[in-house]
Every structure is written in C-alpha cells, then in structure tokens.
Amino acid sequence: MSIKVKTCKTTAEYFAVTKTLTNEVEHTVSIVYPCDILNPTFSLKGGYIDANYLTGPFGRKYWITNQTIDKGINYLHCTVDAWSSWSGDIYGTEQFVTRSEKHGNPNLNDISYPSTSDISSQVQRGTLLTQRATYVIGVI
C-alpha cells in the first residue's frame, strides 16, 4: 500500500513536544508489512535521504531511527514521537507540575541542585549598645 509522507529534519530535543521541522519533502512510500504503527517501516525507491523525522502516516509523527538500503530500495525504520504526535491532547490540560522551567518556585528547596560544603560568612555590625558604664547605689 502506498501512502504520502513528508520527511524532514529537526534539531529539536528528543523530549520537546513542539518541534521545528525543516527541509520537508513529500514522498510516496510503501508500508512494509506486518506494520507496527508505533515502529513502522516505510520503503521508497532510491538511496539515503537526509532526514531524521517523518510526518503523515497514521496521524502520527515519527523519528526516523534508521535507514537500510537494499537493491535500490530505502527502508525507513521509524519510531513514534508520542508527545509530539499527541501534543494537542497535552496542551491545555491541567496537571500538577513538580518541576518547571518557567513556573518553578526558586524558594522551594531543590535537592537536585548541588550545594557546596564550602561556606562564606558575612558579619554586619549594628548599634553600639554601650560605651560607658553607670554606677548606681541602692539605699533604703
């Protein structure tokens, strides 16, 4: 079965939900059966293509994890990018966030952040409470 896909490149981090895609090229590829939609393989005529990402099939987005070429056929081995494929189901949801880059509270103790045992000490001097003594007798 032939389908249309777009191969492209992304430099986004693996854990990025939203990825910027470049060099998009549309191809007509064949699905290699049996097909695991989370780890599909697509074949197309030709040699190596300069891409690491693929969109289109099964309504999902895939990392191109490997390419194998045999007898003029390029097999694109893919793995689903789950969080990018389903970003629409992620954004807008309310979650209890334990760590955050933008919304974190810097005053919450972060045991992950290292602290040295080397300390610095600062002394501030305040009011001079006494300069002279007072002599008092008590009589009855």
Partner 1 sequence: MPFTLGQKFNENTDWEFTVSNETIAEMVQVDGGITESDIAEYCYSALVDKRVYAMLAESSRPSNDGLYPWATDYCPAYNTNNGAFPSRVEMNTSVLESNKVTCYQRNILTYYGTIGGKTGHFLVMDIKDIKKWYIDYDTTGKFSSLNVSSTEGFPGISGTIYKYSDSEVKYAIVKPYNATGSPTGSLRVLNILDNSGNLWIGALNPSANSRELISNQKLSHAAWTRDYAAADTYNTYYSRYIYQGESTALQGWCHFNETVGDNEFPLSPGPTTPFYCYLEDIDGFNIVRVSGQYGNSQNPFITYCEQGCFFKDLNAVHTVQSWAGFLFLANNTLYKPIIEGGIIIGYTDDMDKTSDWDEMTNVTGNNISPVPPAPSAPTGDVETDMPLAYIGGSAGMVSFIKINASGLASADDIAESISRFDITTIGKDLLRNFVAFKCYAVLNIDDSVVRDIKVAGRTLKDEDDNALQGEYIGSVAPVDFTAGTVDHLYNDFRDYAPYTRIQMYVPFCGWFDLPSWCMGKEITGTMFTDIYNGTVKAVIYASRTVVAEVGGCCAFDIPFAAESTGMKAGAVISSALSTIAMTGATVAAPNIATGIAAVSSAANLVSAANSNGTTLKGVMGDGSNISGLHHVYIKTTRPKAPNGKKNIPEQYKHDFGIPCFKQLKLTAGDGFTQIGDANITGSMTDREKQMIIDGFRHGLIL
Rg (the chain; Cα; Å): 32
> Distance (Å, rounded) from C-alpha 116 to C-alpha 112?
12
Site string for partner 1, 113-132 (x = CB under 8 A): xxxxxxxxxxxxxxxxxxxx
Q: Give kind and range of the element (H or E) at residue 87.
A: helix 87-90
> Distance (Å, rounded) from C-alpha 140 to C-alpha 135?
17
> Distance (Å, rounded) from C-alpha 55 to C-alpha 87?
14
* Stretch touching partner 1 by CB under 8 A, among 22-30, 44-52, 67-75, 107-115: 107-115
Q: Which one of 18, 28, 66, 68 is in contact with partner 1 (CB under 8 A)?
A: 18
Q: By CB under 8 A, is residue 34 in contact with partner 1?
A: no
Minimum gap (Å) between residue 55 Cβ and partner 1: 16
Site string for partner 1, 36-75 (x = CB under 8 A): -xx-------------------------------------
Distances from the Cα of 110 to the Cα of 14, 88, 95, 113, angstroms: 25, 31, 20, 6
Q: Which one of 6, 17, 43, 56 is in contact with partner 1 (CB under 8 A)?
A: 17
Contact of 4 with 28, CB cutoff 8 Å: yes
Q: By CB under 8 A, is residue 137 in contact with partner 1?
A: yes
Q: Which residues would be at the binding site for partner 1 (CB under 8 A)?
A: 13, 15-18, 37-38, 80, 82-83, 85-86, 88-110, 112-140
